[in-house]
Amino acid sequence: MNRKYFDKTPSYSRKTPFGIFVDQAGYYPDSRKMAYIPLECDDFEVTDINGSVRFSGKTVHAGYDEASGDDVWTADFSGLTETGTFCVRAGNKTSAMFHIGEYVYNDVFDKTMKAFYYLRCGCGLDERCAGVWHHGKCHTAPARLWENRDAVLDVSGGWHDAGDYGRYVTAGACAAAHLLYAFRLFPEVFEKQKLGIPETGCPDILSEVRYELEWLMKMQDSEGGVYHKATTALHAPFVMPEEDTSEMYVFPVSSMATADLAAICALASGIYEPYDKAFSEKLFKAAGKSADWLERHPEFIGFSNPEGCNTGGYGERDDHSNRFWAYSEMYALTGDLRYHGLLVSALNEDFPLTALGYGEVGGLGALAYLLCKQAKDVQVENRFMNRFRLHADEMKKTADNCGYGVAMKPDEYQWGSNMGLMKKAMIFAINDVLFDDRSCREYAARHLDCLLGANPLGISYITGAGEFRCNYPHLRPAYADGIEECIPGMVAGGPNGGLSDPFARQVIPEGTPPMKCYADDTASYSLNEITIYWNSPTVFVLAYMCGK
């Protein structure tokens, strides 16, 4: 990769060589298979790698798509069930090559899961496990409390959160929860997954998430409160992690971070118990300590960056959904009716009960309750079930009226839109699990198709996955390592109609449809940054698809 600091002829000028858009990973033999064509045509054909026609058919006019500005025709080749490598042709246009087979998602599933290993902080990545993307130890020096510079703490470890080298409790807890719920719901796909990470002895996903959990527990103070984040005062320049030697600080306790730690440690305690009872007990104690802190501190203790700090804030308007998640997980783990009373009381506050992101975690709390083995209040259970069902039904209607088949409205293409895309796919997957609604599988697959190339830019938004893919994310080690091919498995933020950084505003013309407001360039943090909580819902969805 060009080592100049944001070269003046960057990668955003790359345009897809394809005029027909498909999932570049591929399709299962028995799945729905749809190509999207933003031009008028009547007929299409699917050819194999030798150019032989293996399927042909008529296109269907899907109509004008507001989010992309395209008039879209679709080519349904679900009837092609033979395995192999193919492309779609119509008029003088062609698609990227794709596969049809039983294991089409395994490679991208492994890459998006191993991405967390490449984001480890506090250790070096050795060549045996990291290949050409290895690097030295980073961020191992003791950190100072921002409000008491004489106090030092060991907060080494965890995952770098995003394109920067900060680590944030609420974001980390959310990402870990996506992964642990994926393991809980689809364990068979993880039990056979081999990522090539240093640890052994349990499924690799649990080894990887443990690396984050150990750091999260270091962020708990002696009273049970949890420090909000560990970062330097200012974002690092675009250097390798071991070259970022600025002072690390630990920032004040927030009630959101405390609640999220209680929740994730409770969830993890039950999952790790069969594999490591001592670690499970450590998690249980940490969860209980933070849950007790929440009861002693019913007031909202938020967070905003103090003067002199410009790293991620991860502030929230309140902590209602965070507390609800914490009490739901504690009840699911212990069966203690005190926690049941607290989670029911938390429902008096107004927050979404299917939200699965770091800013609102009500969906994680509802999922904890629905999946738990403890006695349930039927009215509460039905409330949560109905919310998930209604959410899926609403999204189906939106997806059916979208030219590209996804439940994304034009105003939802904001910063991190690919996270929104994957969280919607998660909702469909969860509905399939809760209600055995197999129609949800097709809708979840549509969203994954879109992420992997069936979109109006014809680009796969996952590094290392697909014939035409993003390769220049806003990610410091990917820029600084001097290697042209990006670290694989990183999910880019995606289209953002808000054009929320100077580079995006410079290169994307005003009035561009929101689904096309994207640039594959390191300089654009609002379009092309990566984060752990954009990768984690993608892993969840891929685990669901691979667990068919």
Two tokens, residue 262: 């209680």
Distance CA 286, CA 398 (A): 42
Instruction: Please confirm, yes or no, whether 481 is among the known catalytic residues.
Output: no
Task: Let me know: does 312 contact 165? Beta carbons within 8 Å.
Answer: no
Distance CA 347, CA 324 (A): 7
Distance CA 224, CA 78 (A): 54
* 282 found inside a domain: yes
Which listed residue (208, 481, 520, 521) is catalytic?
520
**Percentage of residues of the chain with pLDDT beyond 70:** 97
Task: Let me know: does 545 contact 112? Beta carbons within 8 Å.
Answer: no
Which listed residue (23, 65, 110, 164) is catalytic?
164
Two tokens, residue 33: 């298979």
Segment 129-144 mean pLDDT: 97
pLDDT at 177 over 90: yes
Amino acid 200: pLDDT: 84
Counting the structural domains of the chain, the total is 1
Which listed residue (474, 481, 501, 521) is catalytic?
474
Residue 13 banded pLDDT, cuts 50, 70, 90: low
Burial of 344 (0-12, 13-18, 19+ CB in 10 A): middle
Residue 15 banded pLDDT, cuts 50, 70, 90: confident
Greater pLDDT, 124 or 11: 124
Amino acid 1: pLDDT: 38
* 351 found inside a domain: yes
Distance CA 117, CA 159 (A): 8
**Percentage of residues of the chain with pLDDT beyond 90:** 97
Alpha carbon 189 to chain centroid, angstroms: 18
pLDDT tens per residue, range 94-105: 999 999 999 999
| CATH number reported for the structural domain that contains residue 135 in this entry | 1.50.10.10
* 386 found inside a domain: no
* 165 found inside a domain: yes
pLDDT at 3 over 60: no
User: What's the first-to-final CA gap in the chain, in angstroms?
Assistant: 38
* 161 found inside a domain: yes
Segment 225-240 mean pLDDT: 97
Greater pLDDT, 548 or 391: 391
Residue 302 banded pLDDT, cuts 50, 70, 90: very high
Closest CA to 300 of 313, 312, 316, 278: 316
* 465 found inside a domain: no
Closest CA to 47 of 77, 21, 2: 77
Instruction: Please confirm, yes or no, whether 70 is among the known catalytic residues.
Output: no
Instruction: Please confirm, yes or no, whether 65 is among the known catalytic residues.
Output: no
Could you tell me if residue 18 is left (phi over 0), alpha (psi between -120 and 50 degrees) or otherwise beta? beta
User: Cα–Cα distances in Å, from 461 out to 226, 470, 488, 528?
Assistant: 34, 6, 11, 9
pLDDT tens per residue, range 54-113: 999 999 999 999 999 999 999 999 999 999 999 999 989 999 999 999 999 999 999 999
pLDDT tens per residue, range 480-534: 999 999 999 999 999 999 999 999 999 999 999 999 999 999 999 999 999 999 9
pLDDT tens per residue, range 236-275: 999 999 999 999 999 999 999 999 999 999 999 999 999 9
Task: Let me know: does 80 contact 24? Beta carbons within 8 Å.
Answer: no
Alpha carbon 28 to chain centroid, angstroms: 23
Domain that holds residue 129: 119-376
Instruction: Please confirm, yes or no, whether 164 is among the known catalytic residues.
Output: yes
Number of helices (H) and strands (E) in the chain: give both, helices first. Answer: 17, 14
Those residues whose C-beta lies under 8 Å from the C-beta of residue 259, and which sit 6 or more positions away, are 290, 294, 319, 322, 323, 325, 326
Q: Please, what sign has the CA dihedral across residues 403, 473, 422, 89?
A: positive
Two tokens, residue 120: 């480890």
Alpha carbon 361 to chain centroid, angstroms: 14
Distance CA 177, CA 171 (A): 10
* 266 found inside a domain: yes
Distance CA 383, CA 378 (A): 8
* 77 found inside a domain: no
Segment 44-51 mean pLDDT: 97
Those residues whose C-beta lies under 8 Å from the C-beta of residue 61, and which sit 6 or more positions away, are 40, 71, 72, 73
pLDDT at 359 over 70: yes
pLDDT at 178 over 70: yes
pLDDT at 143 over 60: yes
